[in-house]
Structure 1
Amino acid sequence: MTAQRQERNQMRLRIALIGLLSLGLIAAASSPGVQAATTERVVADRNTGLAIDGFDPVAYFTDREPRQGQAQFEASASGVVWRFCNDDNRKFFLARPDIYGPQFGGYDPVAVARGVPLAGNARVWLISGQRLYLFDREENRDAFAASPERYLHDARERWPGLLATLSE
């Protein structure tokens, strides 16, 4: 093989590698996926740092529905930013985040019971035993509602191990 052909083949190889790397980066950047960070102890939006998509965690209890929080009523707790509808809700949450915050850091308790940290959806929720739970999908919420103690037993057993794998 001539030196000129060897150089041409090396150039083609470099171009192919650059193309493959570019495709990989484009695919990684544009892949549809959950916008919530699933390697954190509390589920938060990767872009904004907001917990539960900016919904007010106290409103689930007081208004019995998810309500979008406002930027002027924010608080930082557990490494994420929480938004509230008003200052009273903010104060209630800061006094008792263990009560008002979603259980299992906002991860779906049905998935946690299986040993999988799957981010819950702020619009698929349930209050059970005076605690807020977020679910990935309605089927998981319905299964949990039918037998909360069954799922909670397994989820509570597995949560410490899962928590250890999630970054702070």
Structure 2
Amino acid sequence: MKTFTLKSIAAGLLLSASSFAFAADIDMNADANDLAIKGFDPVAYFTMDKAVNGSPDYTATYKGAIYQFSSESHRDMFRANPAKYAPQYGGYCAFGVAMEKKFDTDPNAWKIIADKLYLNLNKDVQKRWAQDTTAYIEQSDSNWFDIKNKTVAELSEAE
């Protein structure tokens, strides 16, 4: 069994941090075209219990990021209550936010806890995060207020 330390995970996360761009709002993780969650349907995580690709035929904008949906009904559910379905921490890696960093995410590394969607960088990081989600969520909630309006570069400079 592989063992991951915070230091080794942080090093791996830093390598991937520069691989994504930002939406109009700095607190949102989106690609160069402002697409959130790499085009995956945020409502499907809740209604279908799986990661599902969205379609450019069904979109909605929230906090400057564009979300895609697999159906018109999912888009309408999101529009009615975007805060319910949008991923926590602007779609940045929940584990990374616990470490005061903003890292991209893999839409397949996800978990719903207390009716909130959390994404992680990848499945390995998600395994580490899952070892104590309660503590990591508490730490991320605390950190998010301070880092949500900082860029990835600003957070890297703080090291």
Give per-residue Cα distances to partners, 1:24-44, cap 9 Å, x unaligned: xxxxxxxxx523439831111
* Residues 36 and 119 in structure 1, CA contact (< 8 A), matched pair in contact too: no
Unaligned runs of 5+ in 1: 1-32
Task: Sort the Cα spacing of 1:37 and 1:123 in 2 relative to 1 into closer, same or farther, 3 A.
Answer: farther
Question: 1:143 aligns to what?
Answer: 128
Give aligned-pair identity as a percent: 29
Deviation track 1:45-86 (CA, whole Å, cap 9, x = no partner) reads 11x221101110001111111111111111111101111111
The one of 140, 143, 146 aligned to 1:158:
143
1:104-152 residue CA offsets vs partner (Å, 9 max, x unmatched): 0111111111111112221211111211111012222122223211001
Aligned to 2:39: 54
**Unmatched 5+ stretches in structure 2:** 1-17, 153-159
- The aligned counterpart of 2:31 is 45
Deviating 4+ runs (over 6 angstroms): none
Amino acid at match of 2:35: L
Correspondences of 1:1-168 after superposition (within 5 Å):
33-37=18-22, 40-46=26-32, 48-166=33-151
CA drift of 1:95 comes to 1.5
Q: Indicate conservation of the 8 Å contact 1:126/1:132, yes or no.
A: yes
TM-score of the superposed pair, with normalisation by structure 1: 0.73
**Aligned counterparts of 2:138 and 2:108: Cα–Cα separation in 1:** 24
User: Considering only CA atoms, is the larger Rg found in Structure 1 or Structure 2?
Assistant: 1
Secondary structure of the residue aligned to 2:34 is coil
